[in-house]
């Protein structure tokens, strides 16, 4: 999915995690949420991984994040925005600065849930094939 | 860290027997089967390197999920390497690699299926960099 297809709604970015009553993921595999795509996209960039690494040690302002990365403030804003869309980072305007911190773990949780559902589907298929071979003896 | 899913089954048959059943039309239909009434499996396979194994499966003809595997290596009875594409309900596609190996083990066959190359594969460690806490959480989810 192209990142550009992620759209903000009502001034806030909802990416994948559907509001209450939204459609939930069920097997068989097929209906991936936007969150999973957004998570994988966000984590695919080394700069963004570095930002997460930094934020795992505590919150930081955009300027503090930009310093060690060698990026401009605008550059770091872009990366933080992508991480924010994926729910990996939260930002809050405090006075004249914007503070960043790790986002809710539910985003990665959903990625983990998808992988687990994928695993369960294949485990079931292999179980079924094993029984088939036993019957075919 | 390479995000990789691995599955193993010890099957009481020789590797050749397991390999041949796995690549047979009946075995391929069984893999994607389900006991639910009305479950549909449509499997078409051209067993050659570069050939495609296409499966549509689901609870009804109107609700089918699709996997397309292209054979990249066929080493009977030891190994199959497939380029897999999973088509989502919305029509978008999700590619990854799938390898099946069939190893003799005490008169039986250790069948191992490994999948990798998910979009998250890009999350692997880079030399000289630490692993963000977020990766640790994702890895724990993978290996839970």
Into how many domains does chain B fold? 1
Q: Domain limits of chain A? A: 33-136
pLDDT for res A102: 84
pLDDT for res B69: 96
With cut-offs at 50, 70 and 90, classify the pLDDT of residue A57: confident
User: B45: which residues sit within 8 A by CB, 6+ positions away?
Assistant: B23, B25, B28, B51, B52, B53, B54
pLDDT for res A117: 75
pLDDT at B101 over 90: yes
Residues of A in contact with B115 (CB under 8 A): 122
Range of the domain at B14: 4-143
In tens, the pLDDT along A58-97 reads 788 998 898 777 788 899 999 999 998 888 888 988 888 8
pLDDT at A32 over 50: no
pLDDT for res B115: 86
CATH topology of domain A33-136: Arc Repressor Mutant, subunit A (1.10.10)
Residue linked to tokens 């809710």: A104
Q: Which two tokens stand for residue B115?
A: 């999948």
Mutate to test the interface with A, among B134, B142, B143 (most CBs of A within 10 A): B134
Residues of B in contact with A69 (CB under 8 A): none
pLDDT at B139 over 90: no
Alpha carbons B96 and B84: distance in angstroms, whole number: 5
CB A40 within 8 A of CB A108: no
Query: Residue B137 sits in a domain of what CATH number?
Result: 3.30.530.20
pLDDT for res A111: 63
Upstream peptide bond of A28 is cis (omega within 30 degrees of 0): yes
pLDDT at A30 over 50: no
In tens, the pLDDT along B48-73 reads 999 999 999 888 888 888 999 999 99
Residue A109: its H or E element: helix A106-136
Entry pTM:
0.56
pLDDT for res A131: 93
> In degrees to the nearest 10, what's the CA dihedral of B123, B127, B129, B130?
70
Residues of A in contact with B84 (CB under 8 A): none
User: A70: which residues sit within 8 A by CB, 6+ positions away?
Assistant: none
Q: Do A40 and B120 touch (CB under 8 A)?
A: yes
Q: Among partner residues B12, B87, B141, which is closest to A112 by beta-carbon distance?
A: B141
User: B55: which residues sit within 8 A by CB, 6+ positions away?
Assistant: B28, B32, B41, B42, B43, B44, B66, B67, B68, B69
In tens, the pLDDT along B29-39 reads 989 988 889 99
pLDDT for res A10: 27
With cut-offs at 50, 70 and 90, classify the pLDDT of residue A112: low
Q: Which residue has the higher pLDDT, A56 or B58?
A: B58
Alpha carbons B45 and B68: distance in angstroms, whole number: 10
């Amino acid at each position: 999915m192209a990142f550009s297809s992620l759209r903000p709604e009502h001034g806030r970015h909802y990416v994948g995690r559907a509001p209450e009553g939204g459609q939930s993921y069920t097997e068989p595999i097929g209906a991936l949420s936007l969150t999973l795509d957004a998570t994988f996209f966000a984590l695919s960039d080394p700069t963004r991984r570095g930002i997460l690494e930094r934020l795992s040690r505590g919150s930081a302002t955009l300027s503090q994040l930009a310093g060690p990365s060698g990026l401009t403030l605008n550059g770091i804003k872009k990366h933080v925005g992508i991480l924010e869309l994926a729910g990996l980072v939260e930002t809050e305007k405090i006075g004249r600065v914007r503070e960043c911190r790790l986002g809710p773990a539910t985003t990665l949780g959903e990625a983990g849930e998808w992988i687990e559902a994928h695993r369960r589907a294949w485990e079931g298929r292999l179980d079924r094939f094993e029984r088939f071979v036993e019957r075919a003896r | 860290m390479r995000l990789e899913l691995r599955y193993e089954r010890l099957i009481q048959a020789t590797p050749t027997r397991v390999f041949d059943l796995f690549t047979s039309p009946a075995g391929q239909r069984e893999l994607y089967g389900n006991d639910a009434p009305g479950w549909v499996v449509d499997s078409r396979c051209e067993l050659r390197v570069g050939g495609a194994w296409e499966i549509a499966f689901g609870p009804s003809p109107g609700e089918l999920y699709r996997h397309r595997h292209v054979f990249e290596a066929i080493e009977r009875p030891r190994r199959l390497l497939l380029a897999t594409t999973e088509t989502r309900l919305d029509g978008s596609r999700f590619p990854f690699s799938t390898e099946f190996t069939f190893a003799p083990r005490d008169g039986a066959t250790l069948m191992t299926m490994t999948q990798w190359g998910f979009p998250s594969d890009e999350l692997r460690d880079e030399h000289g960099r630490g692993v963000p806490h977020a990766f640790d959480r994702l890895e724990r989810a993978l290996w839970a």
